[in-house]
Chain A
Amino acid sequence: MVRLKSRYLLCEVNVSDRSQLLLLDDRAIMVAVKAAVARTHGDYGAAMCSIRFCVKYLNAHTGIVFLRFPKRCYKLLWSALPFITSIETRGQKIPCFLNCLHVGVKLRVCTKAQYKGNTNYLQPKTNKQLKKHEV
């Protein structure tokens, strides 16, 4: 049976000003990733990005984003993510960078990693978490 294989990247968007995170939009991230891939890998990268690439999930409060790439070229497209310096939404340019936390084969595994990561990988989001970290 022929299967369409993909890889899901669990990424975190890091911004210096937390209030700007709420402005994020999945379409804006898609545009930013496509632009970075086109800049880094040219027409070849842009063509690879056009097949089965999408932003599966975005949480504006925590800055978590799931990206889906096709399996045969996910490493090449992953290599273009560090070149993203800003995301443009609603007329504003938000300087940020993308941190890749986990690569999964199935979306389910990625969501599990996200729950695990809520305590370990991610920066403390609320005051309660901050206090916990201090202690």
Chain B
Amino acid sequence: MKQVEEKEEASVYQRVVLKNASPYHYLKVRLVLEDESTRLSAVELKYFIITGLKSLYGEVGAAVNFDVLKYDEDTLTALLRVYSRSLVKLWSSLTLLGSYQNKACAFRVLQVSRLDPRSSLIIRIFSEVSPFLLALTGNSRDLHLD
């Protein structure tokens, strides 16, 4: 009960509903390889994802438009952007991608969101924090409940 009172004092709770705010979905993924010393360039990563899409969804799947917005070669973490209509196809093909050059690998999806995680500017404009945008700063997948 105390926590609720504090919330009411601190900020005016405002519910903002944005329907179809963005035609894109953003995926933050990390490639985990059996052999941790191998490195991929951004182009190789994109080609690898396209081969996964092609094996599962064929030529139509390989034509799915997605972009690698950010890529960190050391941690093999990438930020992908895809049209919302093709999110299911991309995500399912990432799940089923099992081997890179005959070595076992896995894609770990760290974050998925509708709004661009790079746009921290939006968070600063609103004085109260809306629950929709808060999802981007925090990562519920890393949340550990004791």
A residues in contact with B55, CB < 8 Å? 42-43
One of A33-41, A50-58, A98-106, A120-128 at the interface: A33-41
User: Could you tell me the dominant secondary structure of chain A's interface residues?
Assistant: helix
One of B58-66, B79-87, B98-106 at the interface: B58-66
B residues in contact with A45, CB < 8 Å? 57-58
Q: How large is the interface on B (under 10, 10 to 19, 20 to 34, 35 or more residues)?
A: under 10
User: Could you tell me the dominant secondary structure of chain B's interface residues?
Assistant: helix
A41 to B57 CA separation, bound complex (whole angstroms): 5
B56 sits at the interface (CB 8 A)? yes
A43 to B97 CA separation, bound complex (whole angstroms): 13
A residues in contact with B57, CB < 8 Å? 41-45
| Cross-chain contact of B56 among A39, A40, A44 (Cβ < 8 A) | A44
Instruction: Give the B-binding residues of A (Cβ under 8 A).
Output: 38-45
Instruction: Give the A-binding residues of B (Cβ under 8 A).
Output: 54-61
Given A41-B59, A44-B56, 10 more pairs with CB closer than 8 A:
A38-B58, A39-B58, A39-B59, A40-B58, A42-B54, A42-B59, A42-B60, A43-B55, A43-B58, A45-B57
By Cβ-Cβ distance, the 5 closest A-B pairs, closest first, are A42-B58, A41-B58, A42-B57, A40-B58, A42-B56
